[in-house]
Amino acid sequence: MKTRQENRRKILRMFATGAAALALPPVHAQAFPARPLRLVVGFAPGGAADVVTRIIAKGLSAQLGQQVIVDNKAGAEGIIAAQEVMRAAPDGYTFLLGTNTAMVAVPSLRPNPPYDPFKAFTPLGMAGEFSMFLAVSPTLPSRNLSEFLDHVAANPGKYNSASSNSAAELAMLQLLGTRNTKVVNVRYKGDAQAMTDLVSGQIHMMFSTGTLTPTFVRDGRIKSLVTLLPKRSPLLPDVPTGAELGLGKLTITPWAGFFGPTGLPADVADRLSTELRNTLARPEVRDQLVAQGFSGYGMTATEFAAFFRRQYDGFVATVRENDVKFE
């Protein structure tokens, strides 16, 4: 009899314990983000993409209340950085500042692309567009774009051009193609190194971003003859646009956007997308980006995915129309 009562009491205690456990509030995972994030960029420190990334990372840190660490993985046309993010855990703590080079040129033009950008990544949002100016060594006798093109065309094989990304290289090919002129292209890992060689006279021309060009133009160490922007830049208001000079074929505009690895949970992707847009709307971030010649503006993930597809298709069409070959 006693044993039966003890068993009954044990069973009642088990039910009571179970009921109490069910009554407890559920234990949720820590809210995202619970630790620092890593923003990977495929260019060396000091260049336009790096400077822009650091401005945005600082603003995003303030927005999220967590440190956003910039991780430079330069080289291989942005492939190293892209693959770093592609292989990262899909938890939102590692994401990419991707440009035309890694996200459009590499996967569309290489015979054996290292990744499919539409399958290997999650589009998070737009970062904005870089200003691009034709920067020319003062050693070239050219007061304007027409004189520059005439002189280069009259001296085949004499001059070289620098490029640190496919957009700059393709824009130069488009420009020189208006006179059926070619120069030797020299590729660099970043704008800063290329600009150093341009100023020293080792390089004769390049399409450079607004991060570096204005300072060197103002102090007379280089000249700028045209901008790829749709309207004149306040950084260099005396430099005309391609449209003003009748160069309607200059269609390349370098942009940057944010990408995470594929498989990001929807709530994490939405949070990152929202906070990135909020960051770009912060006055101090916007003003700093403008000072670097970068037009920062946000898009929803859906808007950015559609923009990305249009840019990809347009880039490929331009390359085919101009019969451009990238090694």
Same domain membership, residue 207 and residue 142: yes
Same domain membership, residue 222 and residue 258: no
**What residues make up the domain containing 223?**
132-227
For residue 197, being part of any structural domain is answered with yes
Lowest mean pLDDT across 23-37, 182-196, 313-327: 23-37
> Which CATH number do you get for residue 280?
3.40.190.150
For residue 114, being part of any structural domain is answered with yes
Lowest mean pLDDT across 2-6, 21-25, 272-276: 21-25
User: Across-strand partners of 160?
Assistant: 184
Which stretches of 65-157 are DSSP H helices? 79-86, 100, 106-109, 117-120, 145-153
Number of H helices, E strands in the chain: 13, 11
Same domain membership, residue 123 and residue 136: no
Amino acid at 120: A
Same domain membership, residue 188 and residue 54: no
For residue 326, being part of any structural domain is answered with no
pTM above 0.85, yes or no: no
Among the candidates 227, 244, 277, a domain finishes at: 227
For residue 11, being part of any structural domain is answered with no
Please give the structure tokens belonging to residue 53.
């990334």
Average pLDDT in the 51-68 region? 97
For residue 241, being part of any structural domain is answered with no
| Residue that the structure tokens 């590692």 belong to | 94
For the cut 70, the answer to whether the pLDDT of residue 2 exceeds it is no
Same domain membership, residue 207 and residue 169: yes
120-169 pLDDT, tens digit each: 999 999 999 888 899 999 889 888 999 999 999 999 889 999 988 778 88
Q: What is the 3-class SS of 36-48, one letter each residue? A: CEEEEECCCCCCH
Rg (CA), the chain: 26
Give the count of domains, the chain: 2
Amino acid at 211: T
For the cut 80, the answer to whether the pLDDT of residue 15 exceeds it is no
Lowest mean pLDDT across 8-17, 54-63, 237-246: 8-17
Residue with more model confidence, 108 or 271: 271
Same domain membership, residue 188 and residue 143: yes
> Which CATH number do you get for residue 183?
3.40.190.10
